[in-house]
A and B are shown apart, each in its own frame.
Chain A
């Protein structure tokens, strides 16, 4: 629970730190460095920076930046992974990816997941957060229950659900027992059902994260505002709609950003539940599962690298657009765009 609090606090910070600063730019801490008489100390600071930042920077460069550059390089080769790549194929891998119907499908699934994660989790989490923000019996117990799925590892969740959702599994058995046998379905394998099954599991798993973020956001809204509105005669729903919701804007937008990026890179749940082969058949493949299936598993590391680059670019473009058009109002320092 302590870690939950911490997380919530930092998130409040992220969304709210710029509110009082006006233009949001922190003043540069450059004062002492510009005084010539303190050159010695300047070196001291640099050394300190080197020692403190150095190791982290080396690790970051070696394990994040370098692989990105290498992937971009390997993407231009037909390379089975043994020895240095020699068979340069130019843009062939990229052309194959962009014309491969399997990749189009995977991309479609990703966007489906992006949209429905927002549509399903957003209102649900907001409702739960509003509910949990009031004085309630068993409040902390309910909070924990909602947050537990988020903490459980994806592999455990995936295995558990995949066993329960088999045609002869617990879910169908339960439906039968309570007289809802007509609802029995092939939850995982039927292509018309599988993606919705995935959405349900994703919602169940990640809604707790959204709730915690929203709760933190709610707690950052001064109570005086609601009290003042109440004195003016506003009903509970009016207060939520016209005061709380607009003030929650920054939190919601940050959550949506995290959700979108997570949906674009979804891998583990699908991989565990549908395995390495059936995901594309059942209609739940994502760009990431496509990458591993056609890259690593097929032994085509050049092609897989190219897929990784395409995925990176798609995520980057979406992230930049989101930053530019949606998050900017937060980073520019306004509380919300709506209240002005």
Chain B
């Protein structure tokens, strides 16, 4: 009796200890036979989600490698990924956007060097976009979409307000805002609740105010020493004083509901939104009939006279995918598979955006996207989103400081100070 209870007790304790220490065996890196890739992407709705399911199924059919998909809400992605990487139980294939965020992951030894694994066909197809995932001359990711930033507008609303030409300079933009106001319309929506959509305004003003060198230098020093960062804030503040945004923009999210900034544009509640090239797809999900917005058009961020940025330069991101350092080698095959022409064409149609593969760009028929593509191909250079470029720590502080300014709580100097202070909190 007694020895039995002792045994039972020991068994209970041992089981408890096992449950506490056992972290699971890691992913299916099993030499031969069944290989499973776990895969995180950020499409939670409609066609985008379906696209990844189909692509994963096609890959499994072709190679026998099973892909386990997890779709993660975009705003949750950074935090979840970081936690998973910390825990040593990360997805084999995860979304990456280059810049400082990817560099941090590489520095921590968590991303796989795929330089030698990229197929020549893939290299040729995506071309220059690959450089977004380069860290110290090695490649850590495969681009699937190019997402330059610009202003989307409703052509109907412009016509209604009597706006004939899209504005080329910031002063012209302010004049257009006034015309729209006079016609009883709201010029802009911005999803400041998510911070980054508001911060994109600052990035674009910085793109106009700062030279390419200044942008890149800040990526190294991770501090805003150049005078142009202050100028960008001052220009933004002057623009904010014209009150161009929707009522209650501070609690407006960027995507997902009719009350989000994309939803407001989709339902003709506002005339314009500054956003990346994923916007046509996001908007299409939020129109009353769930179809692309027929009068959606695009123009580049206006020039701001007197700045050091080259005219025509663009702010924007490259969405892509990276492999976890401990992922099975088939991970790279999956990345190569993603940028095959047919898959990229399907991607462009599912997300209504610009595919990274130049071979697939011919399927882009949306007039707004065609304008973006033209501007992109003419741009002297394209800077990565500043929060991506400067890493999570500084990016976060920068975004919050910009939101403060939108709320009237901060000055241009506060933005610079917040960035420089963020380093202390790392």
Q: 1/0 per residue B393-415: CB within 8 Å of A?
A: 10011011001101101000000
B221 an interface residue at 8 Å Cβ cutoff?
Answer: no
Cβ–Cβ contact B400 & A277, under 8 A:
yes
Shortest A241–chain B CB gap in Å is 44
Chain A residues in the interface with B (C-beta under 8 A): 44, 47, 50-51, 54-55, 58-59, 62, 78, 80-83, 92-93, 96, 100, 162-163, 165-168, 186, 188-189, 191, 274-278, 280-282, 293-294, 296-303
Which residues from A are CB-within-8-Å of B46?
none
12 contacts between A and B (CB under 8 A): A58-B16, A83-B109, A100-B425, A167-B251, A168-B247, A189-B250, A277-B399, A280-B404, A281-B400, A298-B392, A300-B393, A301-B86
Q: 1/0 per residue B365-393: CB within 8 Å of A?
A: 00000000000000000000000000111
Q: Which residue of B lies closest to A165 (CB)?
A: B251
Would A51 and B425 be within 8 Å (CB), given that A166-B251, A300-B393 are in contact?
A: no
Residue in A96, A276, A300 whose beta carbon sits within 8 Å of that of B195 in the complex: A276
B363 an interface residue at 8 Å Cβ cutoff?
Answer: no
Cβ–Cβ contact B5 & A274, under 8 A:
no
Q: How many residues of B contact A (CB 8 A)?
A: 52
Taken together as a complex, chains A and B put the C-alpha atoms of A92 and B195 apart, in Å, by 28
Would A189 and B194 be within 8 Å (CB), given that A51-B12, A54-B12 are in contact?
A: no
Q: Which residue of A lies closest to B13 (CB)?
A: A54
Which residues from A are CB-within-8-Å of B28?
none
Would A281 and B104 be within 8 Å (CB), given that A96-B425, A293-B400, A297-B78 are in contact?
A: no
A-B pairs with beta carbons under 8 A, tally: 140
Residue in A83, A276, A303 whose beta carbon sits within 8 Å of that of B425 in the complex: A303
Cβ–Cβ contact B79 & A296, under 8 A:
yes
Cβ–Cβ contact A47 & B407, under 8 A:
no
Which residues from B are CB-within-8-Å of A93?
425
Which residues from A are CB-within-8-Å of B75?
276
Q: Which residue of A lies closest to B407 (CB)?
A: A281
Cβ–Cβ contact A78 & B426, under 8 A:
yes
Which residues from A are CB-within-8-Å of B392?
297-299
Cβ–Cβ contact A81 & B426, under 8 A:
no
Cβ–Cβ contact B248 & A82, under 8 A:
no
B82 an interface residue at 8 Å Cβ cutoff?
Answer: yes
Which residues from A are CB-within-8-Å of B132?
none
Would A81 and B86 be within 8 Å (CB), given that A55-B16, A168-B259, A277-B403 are in contact?
A: yes
Shortest B192–chain A CB gap in Å is 7
Which residues from A are CB-within-8-Å of B407?
189, 191, 278, 281-282
Taken together as a complex, chains A and B put the C-alpha atoms of A259 and B299 apart, in Å, by 53
Taken together as a complex, chains A and B put the C-alpha atoms of A12 and B86 apart, in Å, by 45
Which residues from B are CB-within-8-Å of A163?
259
B9 an interface residue at 8 Å Cβ cutoff?
Answer: yes
Interface centre among A80, A191, A298 (most CB of B within 10 A): A298
Q: 1/0 per residue B89-105: CB within 8 Å of A?
A: 00000000000000011
Main secondary structure of the interface of B (DSSP, over half): helix
Which residues from A are CB-within-8-Å of B238?
none
Q: 1/0 per residue B106-119: CB within 8 Å of A?
A: 01111000000000
Shortest A58–chain B CB gap in Å is 5
Which residues from B are CB-within-8-Å of A282?
250, 407
Shortest B270–chain A CB gap in Å is 12
Cβ–Cβ contact B82 & A299, under 8 A:
yes
Cβ–Cβ contact A275 & B194, under 8 A:
yes
Residue in A78, A100, A191, A296 whose beta carbon sits within 8 Å of that of B82 in the complex: A296
Would A294 and B248 be within 8 Å (CB), given that A54-B9, A83-B108, A168-B259 are in contact?
A: no
Q: Which residue of B lies closest to A280 (CB)?
A: B400
B422 an interface residue at 8 Å Cβ cutoff?
Answer: yes
Taken together as a complex, chains A and B put the C-alpha atoms of A301 and B108 apart, in Å, by 14
Q: Which residue of B lies closest to A61 (CB)?
A: B20
Q: Which residue of B lies closest to A188 (CB)?
A: B251
Cβ–Cβ contact B5 & A298, under 8 A:
no
B164 an interface residue at 8 Å Cβ cutoff?
Answer: no
B346 an interface residue at 8 Å Cβ cutoff?
Answer: no
Shortest A148–chain B CB gap in Å is 25
Taken together as a complex, chains A and B put the C-alpha atoms of A278 and B75 apart, in Å, by 14
Cβ–Cβ contact A297 & B79, under 8 A:
yes
Residue in B82, B85, B403 whose beta carbon sits within 8 Å of that of A278 in the complex: B403
B253 an interface residue at 8 Å Cβ cutoff?
Answer: yes
B23 an interface residue at 8 Å Cβ cutoff?
Answer: no
Cβ–Cβ contact A81 & B425, under 8 A:
no
Shortest B121–chain A CB gap in Å is 33
Shortest A276–chain B CB gap in Å is 7
Cβ–Cβ contact A278 & B425, under 8 A:
no
Would A277 and B193 be within 8 Å (CB), given that A191-B409, A299-B393, A300-B393 are in contact?
A: yes
Would A298 and B393 be within 8 Å (CB), given that A51-B12, A191-B407 are in contact?
A: yes
Which residues from A are CB-within-8-Å of B8?
51
Cβ–Cβ contact A298 & B404, under 8 A:
no
Taken together as a complex, chains A and B put the C-alpha atoms of A121 and B259 apart, in Å, by 33
Q: Which residue of B lies closest to A40 (CB)?
A: B2
The 8 closest A-B pairs by CB, nearest first: A82-B108, A167-B248, A189-B250, A277-B195, A299-B392, A51-B9, A298-B396, A188-B251
Q: Which residue of A lies closest to B105 (CB)?
A: A82
Cβ–Cβ contact B86 & A189, under 8 A:
no
Would A82 and B253 be within 8 Å (CB), given that A96-B424, A277-B195, A299-B104 are in contact?
A: no
Which residues from B are CB-within-8-Å of A191?
407, 409
